[in-house]
Amino acid sequence: MEESALVKITDVARHAGVSPSTVSYVLSGKRSISAETRQRVEQSIRTLGYRPHAGARALASSRSNVLALVMPLRSGIHLPVQMQFAASVVTAARTYDHDVLLVTQEEGEDGLRRVTDSALVDGLVVMDIQMQDARIPLLRSLHLPSVLIGFPAEAAGLTCIDLDFTATGEACVDHLAQLGHRCVALLGSPPEVYARGTGFARRTAAGFTSAARRHGINATVVPVAPGRAAAQETVERLLHRYPGLSAVVVHNEPALGPLLEAFQRAGMRVPEDLSVVALCPDELAENAVVPVSSIAIPAAEVGERSVELLMSKLARGPESVPDATLLPPRLTPRASTAPRRPDSLPTAS
């Protein structure tokens, strides 16, 4: 409540009539302190406006109370998601009395080395993990705990968290099946992405397919190449091949707009003739020509949970935490999905 920047633990100790170590124990709770002493010390801390010196604390305790957030900072389409994510990481970290150091993706492995080797941080939250991520070996060899957002090809022994894409694929189909649709398509990522074996694309497709089988629904998975032209062509081919098609799931953010247009142009009104579910941020879904029912990456939840995981590893060891945590999808119904019209064409043979 007073000055600052110069008051140290010995000042507090003197003011409270105890030894510095006692003050330290009051602060950390690592030894029992009589209620009376504790209150006296706490009062002194407040009156003097004492704040432990972060560096000194880090040196003595080998804990910095800072964690690194490694994130891509180049402009892209996902910005709102990233921001939400960063915000929730910072907020969650604060509830554990930690601060967040911002490390850019571009700093790569050297960046990680730097912040860990210099004991700047106690742990890492690493966003935007690729299938073949160059940082994985390093992360694995690190003596510091880390949590990865997304799943690399080889995830064993790493703590990863992400939306459950299999369940997401299933949820979309469940939703559509419930509305009576009998012939559905998954309009997915560009072909390369599948060829590369990218995890989330494959998992979504798998969930989609198995749920369709479970419901006894006619289902197909179609990659969508980038660009308006490709979208248009994909739609034409699709409608020709599956005349009974009455619903699609779009898992390709940039293609969503073009695809909707293409369907429109092909005479399919949404949702009268065609129901559409998308995997994309709510922003995008809300602002499409017709608001699209969607499942979004739960950025805030991912952020919060990842910090919780990290803190648990820090406090209770790496074994205290599951390797993979998959967040359940939440589908937000909007105007783009409706029951199948009884008079629509019969399901394709």
Partner DNA sequence: GCAGATCGTCGAAGCGCTTCGACTCGGGGA
Partner DNA sequence: TCCCCGAGTCGAAGCGCTTCGACGATCTGC
Catalog residues that contact its own copies under the rule CB under 8 A. Answer: 4-5, 49, 51-59, 64, 66, 69, 73-75, 79-80, 82-84, 86-87, 90-91, 94, 99-104, 106-107, 113-120, 143
Return the one option of its own copies, DNA, none that residue 225 interacts with (CB less than 5 to 8 A, by type). none
Question: Between 17 and 227, whose beta carbon lies closer to DNA?
Answer: 17
Contact status: 45 vs DNA (CB under 7 A)? no
The one among 15, 45, 52, 69 contacting DNA by CB under 7 A:
52
Contact status: 132 vs DNA (CB under 7 A)? no
Question: Between 46 and 94, whose beta carbon lies closer to its own copies?
Answer: 94
Return the one option of its own copies, DNA, none that residue 130 interacts with (CB less than 5 to 8 A, by type). none
The minimum distance between CB 130 and its own copies, in angstroms, equals 19
Of the CA atoms within 13 Å of residue 100, those in its CB half-sphere come to: 24
Contact status: 39 vs DNA (CB under 7 A)? no
Contact status: 44 vs DNA (CB under 7 A)? no
Pairing of strands 293-295, 331-332: antiparallel
Of the CA atoms within 13 Å of residue 257, those in its CB half-sphere come to: 9
Return the one option of DNA, its own copies, none that residue 290 interacts with (CB less than 5 to 8 A, by type). none
Question: Between 37 and 130, whose beta carbon lies closer to DNA?
Answer: 37
The one among 2, 4, 34, 157 contacting DNA by CB under 7 A:
34
Binding site for DNA (CB under 7 A): 6, 8-10, 17-25, 27-28, 30-34, 36-38, 50-53, 56-57, 59-62
